[in-house]
Amino acid sequence: MVKGTNSTVLRYAVAVSSTALALLLTLLLWRLMEPNRLLLLLAAVILSSWRGGLGPGLLAAFLAVLSDLFFLDLSPSIGFFDNSLRLGLFMLMSLLIGLQSSRRKRAEDVLKQRAGFINQGHDAVISTDLDGYVTSWNRGAERAYGYTAEEALGKHVSIIYPAEDLDFLRRDVIAPLMEKGEHEVEVRARKKSGEDVYVQLSLSLLRDKEHATVGMIGYAVDITERRRAEEALRKAHDELETRVRERTAELSEANLLLQAETDERERAEKVLRESEQSYRLLFESNPHPMWVYDRETLSFLAVNEAAIRYYRYSREEFLAITIKDIRPPEDVPALLEKVSQVTPGINIAAGRHRKKDGTFIDVEIVSHTLTFAGRSAELVLAMDVTERKRAEEELKARARQQAAVAELGQRALSGTDLDALMDEAASLVTRMLGVKYCKILELLPEGDALLLRAGVGWKDGYVGRATVGAGLNSQAGYTLLSSEPVVVEDLSAETRFNGPPLLHEHEVVSGMSVIINDHHRPFGVLGAHTTKRRRFTRDDVNFLQAVANVLAEAIQRRQAEEEHVRFIHEQAARAEAEEARRRMAFLAEASNLLTASLDYRATLKSVARFAVPTLTDYCTVDILDEDGAIHRVEVACADPQKSELAHALQKYPPDFNNLEIPVTKVLHTGKLAFYPAVPDSLLVAGAWDAEHLRILRALGPKSHVVAPLVARGRTLGTISFTLAESDRHYGPADLALIEELAGRAALAVDNARLYEQAQGANRDKDEFLATVSHELRTPLTSMLIWIRMLASGKLDEETSTHALKTLAGNVKSLTQLINDLLDVSRVITGKLRIDARPVKLIPIIEAAIDTIRPAADAKKIEIKPALDPLVRPILGDPDRLQQVLWNLLSNAIKFSPVGGRVEVRLEEAVSDAQITVSDMGQGISPDFLPYVFDHFRQADSSDARAYGGLGLGLAIVRHLVEMHGGTVSAQSPGEGQGATFIVRLPFIAVRLNEDDLERMEPTVEEEVSFACPVSLEGLRVLVVDDKAPAREVVAVVLEHCGARVTQAASCAEALDVIGGDGSDRQPDVLVADIGMPGEDGYALIRKVRALDSHRGGKIPAVALTAHANIGDRVRALSAGFQAYISKPAEPTELVVVVASLTGRTGEL
């Protein structure tokens, strides 16, 4: 608003200033201007009218008359009437000039508006000079061709045309244009991106005001989308711009001749009327539907005849509805959002429209905003692209079908199994054609029926079993006989055949079938069927035939391959049979050699010599020992002259760490290595020194095979075969023979080693049994003598006491011996268990020290503990950990000299608790150190050994530590220099409260004489054991404490005692052995618990058994025993347990 006001003031200011200037100049040039003193004022009027229009021009004329009346002297020769007439004429002329200038101004504004519309138009407008170089390039050209105005201006217009079309353009476009002055033609153009488009090109010559040709201008319309509508619009713009430019040139002379101005105004008005008529003609006569709608109300404001004709609404119906009524309901929200966003310029979109009859069509829309009858509106041109989209979809569908067939063909060429290929083909047909059933029928050899070989959609059990006839009564048979594709639109109305039961059972309505051809006769038929009526197209039939052709090609290829393979097999069978016979004879002889001896080294030497020269020129055998060293067992050579060289190789065994050597490579990988040619670099890599390399080169290896000797998953060595001077070459059969020979040789080596190990195990067993016999007989002899001397009654009290102590010590020694044997047995069978819980190690170590201290004091050995109190707790079994420490300390005491010292340290080692037990004793030899934790192994197992024991303690230590997740190791500088044992146990992962830890109090076993801890006076006890000595010793202990004991030797006797009628005989407590012949203790307790309570069914029971593991304890308590005592039982423990079951208490 402010801008418009400023413009108006400026125009009137120009009028006032120009008149004032003209008056001043007239006064200054008075004499020169006489008698035409009004000439400058007339010029001011013309300038004001030109710049400002009618109002400023009239103001200038009025000011000019006032200036003439008041400032310019009137000539005395001119009368008042003449003066008035002159001023009147001046005013009339000024009025005419103002009117003409005002009209010209409006015409120019209209022309500028048209020119701006052309520049912003959607289509391309390009002008060039006579040489074809671009002088103007509108935005439509930028959109149409992809070049910006900056990129195109000054360039030759040929940049938007293919090079091969330039001759055509010069001949059929430029030449007619220069001849006629304008030309219209359809040409091919090329975008910046390389895409070709076809445009309707309208060309005209540009002329200057002298009508000389100065250039060309062209309008290009993309006829692939909006041909005739956009063409007419661009043509109207072209005419308007030409006329505006011509009019602009003519108006340059308007200041000289007023009449010329009047003529130009009339011509401009005529151009405007013609332009309006052109736009109206374009709108009404356009073959595509066009309309104008109100952007606010969405109501139609105007529609052309094409829209009325195409959408079937009358003009009145159109003007009574909105654009929402011709859109699908689901598209209305998007439409409203688009309308709410005003986008200047031309917009292109796609969508769906609904006709009056409800038919939906796909359209492309070209629109731009405008002001129509004072409203914000939008002009729309709609083009029906339904058929084009349908054609595009059909093309896409055909492309997908072709791609699918190509992929199926690739699958067939890749060797896919025929059955799998048929399944893929059936699935492909149902998916691509959208049918329910697909069938692949194979013509049976008899030719009277076809088998449903593969298919999709059929009922279970039909594929692979169902058949259809091959005669005229079936669609498949008709297809075979007619040799043409058969299409059925409605099976119920089919007259050529009835259709087989297979189709009727599945309610088939429509279908088609084609032949799958083979070389000599058809393989069968490929068919597709639907349960709804459908008209299959020629493209559908072609696709089905293409799939059938792929299947036919695959079938023919498979048959050709089978025939070729059959021929090859027949030819090779004879040669293979002969070669197999030769190989079997060779292997049979080799097997005889391998089984001839249990000395595997002698056996391998025989095999190596046997392989030469039948299989190789020279053969080498290398064995990997337990310590990882490679030993060369044999080198056999076929050439007597090179035998000496070959045998010299035994001095150069392969380096196990050199992986470039074939032998070590095979030892590491366990796989055969084959070298068809032996390069010199391989010899250099395996040579120890220059002499070794000379020998290798002198032997002249040409081909080399190294086979591993593998048995039970372990690589035991290698056997190598080398061809040197013979012309032989190793083939697959030779490699297979070598592998078989290596496998048999490995089995022989393994068997021989197992035999040696078994012999060694027998020796170890004999030594162990001898050691066990010694360890058992020694204390038993002592016990037997002391018992007999005690029985004689001739020993004094001091000697008797010593005898009893000796007996107790020997019993303890035997108990420990048996416990060690049981622990080892549990370790070997995997039955050893630990009861892990959070514990501190210091109490456990102190308890072990206290237990072993009497033995240390006896040898005057100092036990020096160094225990870190800050060591964190571990998760472990206190009893088993104390057993570990006792064993280690016992060993240290045993092997330490009198007056020695044993150190025990506890400290933290990163994430572990570390216990170190070191002594100053005998030490461990380096040879025995790796075996110190093995079962039944002792450094000295001879009869003259200085120390007793079975050699089980350290083996038990290792297993117990490993069960706690820890490690144990032994160190010793050598014999006579002491030994150190290090145990590492992992800490608990989480921190525990002090209350959560179980403090292990020291448990010291003291040798005390037996005294009754509790009185059993008046208590009736039944003792059941099949062994009389065992029964009697239990009875003696219980009777010694006051109990009345009844003995039973079997389950039956015990039940007689418990279930007897006399209540005075019924026992108060049952003590029963578990392991008894016939019915054991478990059977006894089950029968007791089955009795009524008044007959002893609830009698307390104690299980007394030699079975001492946790599982046995759980089983006994679960069976019905209330308590469990392991043999040998301590008398005190036995009495306390019996007393506790009857409610009696006492103190130890």
Who has greater pLDDT, 1 or 159? 159
- Last residue of one domain, picked from the residues 384, 399, 416: 384
Q: Are 602 and 746 within one domain?
A: yes
Q: Are 987 and 1045 within one domain?
A: no
Q: Does residue 44 lie within any of the structural domains?
A: yes
Share the mean pLDDT of the chain: 79
Which H or E element spans position 126? Answer: strand 124-129
Q: Are 407 and 555 within one domain?
A: yes
Is the predicted pLDDT of residue 1131 greater than 70, yes or no?
yes
CATH number at residue 691: 3.30.450.40
Give the pLDDT score at 990: 44
Q: Are 475 and 538 within one domain?
A: yes
pLDDT tens column, 548-589: 888 888 888 887 777 777 777 777 666 666 666 766 767 677
- 182-190 and 134-137 beta bridge pairing: unpaired
Is the predicted pLDDT of residue 279 greater than 70, yes or no?
no
Give the pLDDT score at 110: 47
pLDDT tens column, 486-501: 999 998 888 888 878 8
Q: Are 918 and 1060 within one domain?
A: no
Q: Are 425 and 374 within one domain?
A: no
Q: Are 607 and 673 within one domain?
A: yes
pLDDT tens column, 529-553: 999 999 998 888 988 888 988 888 8
Is the backbone of residue 50 left (phi > 0), alpha (psi -120 to 50) or beta? alpha
Is the predicted pLDDT of residue 299 greater than 60, yes or no?
yes
- Last residue of one domain, picked from the residues 760, 775, 804: 760
Reported as a pLDDT band with limits 50, 70 and 90, residue 255 is very low
Is the predicted pLDDT of residue 799 greater than 90, yes or no?
no
Is the predicted pLDDT of residue 2 greater than 70, yes or no?
no
Who has greater pLDDT, 976 or 120? 976
Identify the residue whose tokens are 């010199």: 680
Is the predicted pLDDT of residue 915 greater than 90, yes or no?
yes
Identify the residue whose tokens are 């200033």: 17
Region 1119-1126: mean pLDDT is 87
- Last residue of one domain, picked from the residues 224, 242, 275: 224
Question: How many structural domains does the chain have?
Answer: 7
Q: Are 406 and 535 within one domain?
A: yes
pLDDT tens column, 718-746: 998 888 876 778 888 888 888 888 888 88
Is the predicted pLDDT of residue 254 greater than 50, yes or no?
no
Residue 987, amino acid: F
Which H or E element spans position 90? Answer: helix 80-120
What would you report as the CA-atom Rg of the chain, rounded to the nearest whole angstrom? Answer: 60
Is the predicted pLDDT of residue 945 greater than 60, yes or no?
no
Q: Are 855 and 895 within one domain?
A: yes
Give the pLDDT score at 272: 47
Task: Give the three-state DSSP class for 506.
Answer: coil
CB atoms inside a 10 Å sphere around CB 131: 8
Q: Does residue 260 lie within any of the structural domains?
A: no
Cα 1098 from Cα 1142, distance rounded (Å): 12
- Tokens linked to 99: 């009117």
Is the predicted pLDDT of residue 1134 greater than 90, yes or no?
no
Is the predicted pLDDT of residue 874 greater than 70, yes or no?
yes
Q: Are 325 and 395 within one domain?
A: no
Closest-CA residue to 772 (of 818, 726, 725): 818
CATH number at residue 186: 3.30.450.20
Is the predicted pLDDT of residue 1133 greater than 80, yes or no?
yes
pTM of the model: 0.35
Q: Does residue 862 lie within any of the structural domains?
A: yes
Region 978-988: mean pLDDT is 89
Is the predicted pLDDT of residue 511 greater than 90, yes or no?
yes
Closest-CA residue to 1077 (of 1038, 1040, 1110, 1049): 1049
pLDDT tens column, 401-444: 778 788 887 877 777 788 888 898 899 899 888 899 999 999 99
Give the pLDDT score at 609: 83
Reported as a pLDDT band with limits 50, 70 and 90, residue 690 is confident
Q: Are 945 and 901 within one domain?
A: yes
Q: Does residue 1054 lie within any of the structural domains?
A: yes
Give the pLDDT score at 66: 76
Rounded to the nearest 10 degrees, the angle between the axes of helix 538-594 and helix 600-611 is 120
Cα 751 from Cα 743, distance rounded (Å): 12
Least confident of 107-116, 955-964, 1049-1058, 1115-1124: 107-116
Q: Are 379 and 400 within one domain?
A: no
pLDDT-above-90 percentage for the chain: 10
Structural domain that includes position 701: 595-760
Beta strands across the sheet bearing 901-909: 862-867, 901-909, 912-919, 980-986, 967-971
Which H or E element spans position 708? Answer: strand 703-711
Beta bridge partners of 864: 903
Q: Does residue 1042 lie within any of the structural domains?
A: yes
- 901-909 and 862-867 beta bridge pairing: parallel
Cα 159 from Cα 152, distance rounded (Å): 8
Q: Does residue 525 lie within any of the structural domains?
A: yes
Q: Does residue 543 lie within any of the structural domains?
A: yes
Region 814-828: mean pLDDT is 67
Cα 63 from Cα 41, distance rounded (Å): 9
